[in-house]
Chain A
Amino acid sequence: MGNFRYNRRRQVHDNNESTTMKISTMIPVAVAFGLTVASLPLHAAETGDAAAGQGKTSMCIGCHGIGGYKTAFPEVYHVPKLGGQHAAYIVKALQEYKAGNRSHPSMRAIAASLSDKDMADLAAYYAADAVKSAAK
């Protein structure tokens, strides 16, 4: 009888322990899953065409294609270099401008006029030859 009680207590204890184990292993799994989902590209459907992108740069080159060009409004700083930038990041930036999550009057207006395909093409164009660019 005494042994039975002891064993039963052991069993309950073991069960509790295994439940605790499960929860503690579930947390990293859930986090990993969340990270995987979060890192999936939002606009994976569009594949960029660098050659097509080159034909769509007319609205970009006035600022991004001129060496040393600075913004005039609302703050003055050099517009970012795009040559060799990651395509995924360029698309992300354009989507943020379009959605209004990133603010710059000119970029917001220009991005608003771009389709997902336009963005992918432009990103592919600017990202191309990244290795060559890195050599400068």
Chain B
Amino acid sequence: MNKTILAACCLLLAANAPAFAGDPAEGQKKSQACAACHGADGNSAIPDNPRLAGQHYDYLLKALKDYRSGERKSPIMGPMVANLTQRDIEDLAAYFSSQKGLVLKH
């Protein structure tokens, strides 16, 4: 019984651990193409373009992957991410998610 609880706790911990595969420093180097529209640190000054700073890592990952696969359609973002590798996407998501900006709002 105790072992089951322990196993369940371990699973929960593992599930909640941030799957942080990207390298923020590498992401910053790769973010120059993003800066014109999203701001250098992801705090975009253009209202139509979302702020990325402080956004969740895995949400940014999903957004970039969906643009790349065409699941999410954008005439601007589609071509921007078309040639990104999985590693590029992880690095970019790591960089922008580590910047200060967006917050949880109730």
Stretch at the interface among A5-13, A18-26, A83-91: A83-91
Q: Are B104 and A65 in contact (CB under 8 A)?
A: yes
Residues of B within 8 A of A45 (CB): none
Contact with B along A61-89 (1 / 0, CB 8 A): 10011011000000101111111111111
| A27 at the binding interface (Cβ < 8 Å) | no
Chain B residues within 8 Å of chain A by Cβ, number: 28
Q: Which B residues, 36 to 94, have Cβ-Cβ distances below 8 Å to chain A?
A: 43-44, 46-51, 53-59, 61-62, 71-73
> How far, in whole Å, are A134 and B44 apart by their CA atoms in the complex?
11
Classify chain A's interface size: 20 to 34
| B29 at the binding interface (Cβ < 8 Å) | no
Residues of A within 8 A of B73 (CB): 101-102
Q: Are A81 and B103 in contact (CB under 8 A)?
A: yes
Residues of A within 8 A of B53 (CB): 134
Most-contacted residue by chain B among A65, A75, A81, A92 (CB, 10 A): A81
Among the listed B43, B46, B55, B72, which residue makes an inter-chain contact with A81, where contact means beta carbons less than 8 Å apart?
B55
| A103 at the binding interface (Cβ < 8 Å) | yes
B11 smallest CB distance to A (angstroms): 14
Q: Which A residues, 99 to 136, have Cβ-Cβ distances below 8 Å to chain B?
A: 101-103, 126, 130, 133-136
| B106 at the binding interface (Cβ < 8 Å) | yes
> How far, in whole Å, are A126 and B104 apart by their CA atoms in the complex?
9
* Closest Cβ neighbor of A126 among chain B residues: B105
| A39 at the binding interface (Cβ < 8 Å) | yes
Residues of A within 8 A of B101 (CB): 84, 133-134, 136
A133 smallest CB distance to B (angstroms): 4
- A135 with B48, Cβ < 8 A, contacts A65-B106, A80-B56 known: no
Residues of A within 8 A of B43 (CB): 134
Residues of A within 8 A of B61 (CB): 77
Interface residues of B (CB under 8 A from A): 16, 43-44, 46-51, 53-59, 61-62, 71-73, 100-106
Q: Could you jot down 8 A-B contacts, CB within 8 Å?
A: A77-B62, A79-B56, A80-B55, A80-B59, A84-B102, A86-B47, A87-B47, A89-B47
